């Protein structure tokens, strides 16, 4: 099985490094100069500094060469995926397309597998998601992820597993992609709690009630509860709500502390919160924390007012 990773950000590069333990991998960089730098220096100084690229990782900006592989890992920002699939749909037919993005397309309200099926109906759609940081994977640290594919493919699971990357498979693509998308929203909220100095007890409460919202929303969209309780849901929620390595947590922390944040950094939770809040409202699903995150990131409410609004909600059974 030949493999290309499309997207030379930190996560795509880390996946290519790990998968190179199994055989040759091609890594596509959108920027030609970036590709030449990586090929010459054998490192991705822009996105994943300090980690060497194995010799059997080929870096190229020529997309047509990368699309020759049987299995394509889509490691690109979620809000760019729809346009990419639409533009290259003809060449992607018959391929196995594994989304490594976490989010919901704000234009359509769809997750990655929905976009793949809409634009590339002849392709096989899968999702690779779960609690992971690029630096950990690239350094060879033990990491467990969920691989979701409707045909329950053991061969794909085997091909994408490496000595440090352990994959658990499921057929619940809806649950896997929603867990990975929704946890980013609550990571922003958790970062805000810590940045505002509200304490770890408040963060624990936020994570618990946030998980309740994740489960409520995902089940309404056809996900299975056990998927949300696994790596791609609860596991990823714990990681991103408790580590300063998380870009979503960092953004929330900056909001809570009233500090500036680098706007060039991709933070998927912002668009996801907006998309989720819109879907939840249209389906009458109660998601007060997600709604507050949307209001905060759109600067429609202050941190203090958001906290007071959540605390003033009617008392209820758990």
Catalytic position from the list 91, 95, 102, 183: 183
Q: Cβ neighbours of residue 168 under 8 Å, at least 6 residues apart? A: 144, 145, 146, 147, 230, 231
Instruction: Please give the Cα distance from 300 to 88 (Å, whole number).
Output: 38
User: What would you measure as the largest C-alpha separation in the chain, in angstroms?
Assistant: 61
Instruction: Please give the Cα distance from 153 to 164 (Å, whole number).
Output: 20
87 to each of 42, 106, 176, how far by Cα in Å?
30, 18, 26
Secondary structure (3-state) at 314: coil
- From the DSSP assignment, how many helices (H) and strands (E) are in the chain? 16, 10
250 a catalytic residue: no
Secondary structure (3-state) at 44: strand
Virtual torsion, Cα 31, 182, 269, 312, nearest 10 deg: 180
Instruction: Please give the Cα distance from 278 to 281 (Å, whole number).
Output: 5
Catalytic residue annotation: 183
């Amino acid at each position: 099985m030949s493999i290309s990773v499309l997207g030379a950000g930190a996560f795509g590069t880390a996946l290519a490094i790990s998968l190179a333990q199994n055989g040759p991998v091609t890594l596509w960089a959108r920027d030609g100069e970036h590709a030449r730098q990586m090929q010459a220096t054998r490192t991705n100084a822009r996105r994943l500094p300090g980690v060497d690229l194995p010799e059997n990782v080929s870096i190229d900006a020529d997309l047509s060469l990368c699309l020759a592989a049987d299995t394509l890992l889509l490691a690109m920002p979620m809000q760019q995926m729809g346009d990419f699939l639409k533009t290259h749909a003809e060449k992607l037919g018959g391929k196995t397309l594994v989304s490594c993005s976490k989010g919901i397309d704000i234009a359509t309200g769809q997750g990655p597998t929905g976009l793949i099926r809409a634009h590339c109906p002849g392709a096989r759609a899968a999702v690779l998601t779960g609690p992971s940081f690029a630096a950990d994977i690239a350094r060879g640290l033990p990491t467990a992820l969920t691989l979701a594919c409707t045909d329950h493919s053991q061969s794909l699971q085997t091909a994408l597993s490496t000595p440090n990357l352990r994959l658990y498979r499921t057929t619940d693509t809806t649950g896997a992609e929603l867990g990975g998308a929704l946890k980013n929203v609550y990571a922003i909220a958790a970062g805000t709690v810590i940045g505002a100095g509200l304490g770890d007890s408040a963060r624990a409460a936020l994570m618990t009630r946030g998980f309740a919202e994740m489960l409520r929303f995902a089940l309404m969209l056809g996900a299975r509860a056990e998927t949300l309780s696994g790596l791609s849901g609860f596991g990823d929620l714990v990681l991103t709500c408790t580590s300063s390595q998380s870009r979503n947590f960092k953004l929330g922390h900056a909001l809570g502390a009233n500090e500036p944040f680098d706007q060039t950094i991709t933070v998927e939770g912002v668009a996801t919160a907006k998309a989720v809040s819109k879907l939840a409202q249209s389906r009458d699903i109660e998601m007060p924390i997600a709604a507050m995150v949307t209001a905060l990131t759109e600067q429609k409410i202050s941190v203090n007012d958001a906290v007071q609004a959540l605390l003033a909600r009617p008392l209820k059974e758990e």
